[in-house]
């Protein structure tokens, strides 16, 4: 009597599925026992979605809204029998449960490498983690990590700090939220932030990167009473130190090229980051840094636009510095007179371009 090969294939497949099912059940029971320990009690009232990442695949949607405690109290047989839940979804459930058990404050640069490696492993390396050469990747930020970052901002009383002040680039966010305090995002989930007006994925990425940068800088110092960190744009400390040396001179004797190198150039570099090449080139030419000084009339002719449009672009410098270095205008305008006329002209131009007075300001010739 000849056996039916189709029947044998079905039997073998059934045995494979049965073995995989037992393996999944055993894994579930192991992680369930771990998560039911007292050290994880504070996580039991959070929904499973708390540990899901935006680019996770095959998420067990039927379970995402249920709390961790509820899922752990449910027999494996009931979970596996849920409509729409197969072995792949159970595997995803176990992955999220393991995250719930191991999720801890970041301990490596960018704080996301472990999750990024996990993502790469789950996709066989097809999806780039975004860590390293690609920089920050918002797609590997879970609700759990977001809560930790928010806690750091709260602990250090930084809710009043403006988003634009610490953003990697102001080009990534609309001007309407440059002045938005970080407190606007505290108490909101990632899902709620993504539903906010004017907050697309690129803008949400900026919000996450700012909070993450703060966490990376401050988390390790929270238990060290001997250390204090001041959060400020990178260019500011060196510029303020140089301006302090100028302020100590009466009159200022520094040559023009020194002021250009240590004051004008760092401001120009920040304009390139926040406004792009066009505004950077216009500002550089107006100041005459490494090029002859150009008038607005000449710039408008070269660009084929009106002088009003050039003025409009140059005004972006003042808007940027009002966010990045808000006290800069006061510091620059308090400087004494210069002994060198060219240095005095450059300092005056810097004040007019980067720190224009709000009322009755002198136009740029």
Which of 169, 191, 221 is the last residue in one of the domains?
221
**Does 185 lie in the same domain as 90?**
no
Ranges of H-type helices in 219-306: 236-247, 256-259, 265-275, 277-287, 296-303
From CA 35, how far away is CA 74, in angstroms rounded? 13
Q: Which residue has the higher pLDDT, 236 or 219?
A: 236
- Whether residue 88 lies inside any domain: the answer is yes
Give the three-class secondary structure for 124.
coil
User: What pLDDT sits at residue 257?
Assistant: 96
From CA 148, how far away is CA 50, in angstroms rounded? 12
* pLDDT, average across residues 175-188: 92
Q: Which residue has the higher pLDDT, 142 or 110?
A: 142
**Does 96 lie in the same domain as 147?**
no
* pLDDT, average across residues 195-213: 89
| Residue 145 pLDDT exceeds 70 | yes
**Does 241 lie in the same domain as 198?**
no
- Whether residue 362 lies inside any domain: the answer is no
Q: Which residue has the higher pLDDT, 152 or 49?
A: 152
Tell me if the bond preceding 153 is cis, omega within 30° of 0: no
Which of 172, 188, 221 is the last residue in one of the domains?
221
User: What pLDDT sits at residue 227?
Assistant: 67
* pLDDT, average across residues 46-59: 77
From CA 251, how far away is CA 335, in angstroms rounded? 9
* pLDDT, average across residues 11-29: 70
Angle CA 332–169–353, to nearest 5: 30
How many CB atoms are closer than 10 A to CB 224?
A: 8
From CA 179, how far away is CA 319, in angstroms rounded? 11
Q: Which residue has the higher pLDDT, 39 or 259?
A: 259
**Does 327 lie in the same domain as 246?**
yes
Which of 74, 103, 132 is the last residue in one of the domains?
103
- Whether residue 202 lies inside any domain: the answer is yes
* Contact predicate 13/21, CB 8 Å: no
Tokens representing 117 are 């490696």
From CA 307, how far away is CA 300, in angstroms rounded? 5
**Does 338 lie in the same domain as 289?**
yes
Residues recorded for the chain: 365
From CA 43, how far away is CA 96, in angstroms rounded? 13
Q: How confident is the model at residue 108 (pLDDT cuts 50, 70, 90)?
A: very low
Q: How confident is the model at residue 60 (pLDDT cuts 50, 70, 90)?
A: confident
Most confident stretch, 125-139, 269-283, 345-359: 269-283
What are the residues whose beta carbons fall under 8 Å from the beta carbon of 349, sequence distance 6 or more? 286, 287, 364
**Does 347 lie in the same domain as 242?**
yes
User: What pLDDT sits at residue 63?
Assistant: 86
What are the residues whose beta carbons fall under 8 Å from the beta carbon of 146, sequence distance 6 or more? 189, 190, 208, 211
- Average model confidence (pLDDT) for the chain? 82
**Number of separate domains in the chain:** 3
Distance of CA 350 to the CA centre of its chain: 30
From CA 268, how far away is CA 262, in angstroms rounded? 11
* pLDDT, average across residues 107-132: 39
**Does 350 lie in the same domain as 273?**
yes
Per 3-state DSSP, what percentage of the chain is helix, strand, and coil (rounded to 5)? 65, 0, 35
Q: How confident is the model at residue 249 (pLDDT cuts 50, 70, 90)?
A: very high
- Whether residue 301 lies inside any domain: the answer is yes
**Does 213 lie in the same domain as 184?**
yes
- Whether residue 149 lies inside any domain: the answer is yes
- Whether residue 4 lies inside any domain: the answer is no
User: What pLDDT sits at residue 17?
Assistant: 58
Q: How confident is the model at residue 50 (pLDDT cuts 50, 70, 90)?
A: confident
Distance of CA 78 to the CA centre of its chain: 41
**Does 342 lie in the same domain as 243?**
yes
pLDDT digits (tens, 9 = 90+) for 225-234: 666 778 899 9
User: What pLDDT sits at residue 110?
Assistant: 37
Among the listed residues 160, 168, 111, 162, the one whose alpha carbon sits nearest the alpha carbon of residue 140:
111
Tokens representing 106 are 């970041």
**Does 242 lie in the same domain as 310?**
yes
- Whether residue 21 lies inside any domain: the answer is yes
pLDDT digits (tens, 9 = 90+) for 312-325: 999 999 999 999 99
**Does 256 lie in the same domain as 349?**
yes
Distance of CA 337 to the CA centre of its chain: 41
Q: Could you list the residue range(s) of the whole structural domain that residue 198 is in?
A: 141-221
- Whether residue 195 lies inside any domain: the answer is yes
Burial class (CB in 10 A: 0-12, 13-18, 19+), 257: middle
From CA 251, how far away is CA 333, in angstroms rounded? 14
**Does 340 lie in the same domain as 256?**
yes
Instruction: Kindly compute the dihedral angle of the four CA atoms of residues 109, 113, 116, 117, in this order, to the nearest 10 degrees.
Output: 150
């Amino acid at each position: 009597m000849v056996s039916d090969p189709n029947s044998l294939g079905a039997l073998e497949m059934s045995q494979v599925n049965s073995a995989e099912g037992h393996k999944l059940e055993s894994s579930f029971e192991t992680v369930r026992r771990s998560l039911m320990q007292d050290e994880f009690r504070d996580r039991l009232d959070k929904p499973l979605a708390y540990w899901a990442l935006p680019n996770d695949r095959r998420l067990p949607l039927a379970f995402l809204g249920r709390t961790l405690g509820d899922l752990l109290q449910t027999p494996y047989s009931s979970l596996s029998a849920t409509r729409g839940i197969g072995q792949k979804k159970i595997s995803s459930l176990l992955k999220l449960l393991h995250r719930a058990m191991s999720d801890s404050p970041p301990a490596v640069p960018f704080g996301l490498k472990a999750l990024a490696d996990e993502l790469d492993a789950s996709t066989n390396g097809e999806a780039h983690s975004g860590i390293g050469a690609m920089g920050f990747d918002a797609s590997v930020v879970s609700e759990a990590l977001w809560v930790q970052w928010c806690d750091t901002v709260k602990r250090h009383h930084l809710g009043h700090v403006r988003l634009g002040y610490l953003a990697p680039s102001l080009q990534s966010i609309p001007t309407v939220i440059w002045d938005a305090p970080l407190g606007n995002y505290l108490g909101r989930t990632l899902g709620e932030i993504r539903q906010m007006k004017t907050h697309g994925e690129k803008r949400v990425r900026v919000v996450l990167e700012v909070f993450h940068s703060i966490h990376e800088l401050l988390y390790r110092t929270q238990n060290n009473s001997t250390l204090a960190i001041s959060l400020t744009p990178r260019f500011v400390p060196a510029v303020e130190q140089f301006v302090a040396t100028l302020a100590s001179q009466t009159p200022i004797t520094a040559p023009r090229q020194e002021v250009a190198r240590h004051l004008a150039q760092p401001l120009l570099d920040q304009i390139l980051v926040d406004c792009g090449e066009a505004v950077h080139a216009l500002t550089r030419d107006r100041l005459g840094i490494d090029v002859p000084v150009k008038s607005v009339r000449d710039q408008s002719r070269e660009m084929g636009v009106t002088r009003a449009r050039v003025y409009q672009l140059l005004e972006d410098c003042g808007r940027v510095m009002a966010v990045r270095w808000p006290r800069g205008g006061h510091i620059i305008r308090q400087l004494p007179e210069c002994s060198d006329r060219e240095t005095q002209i450059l300092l005056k131009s810097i004040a007019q371009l980067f720190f224009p007075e709000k009322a009755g300001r002198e136009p740029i010739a």
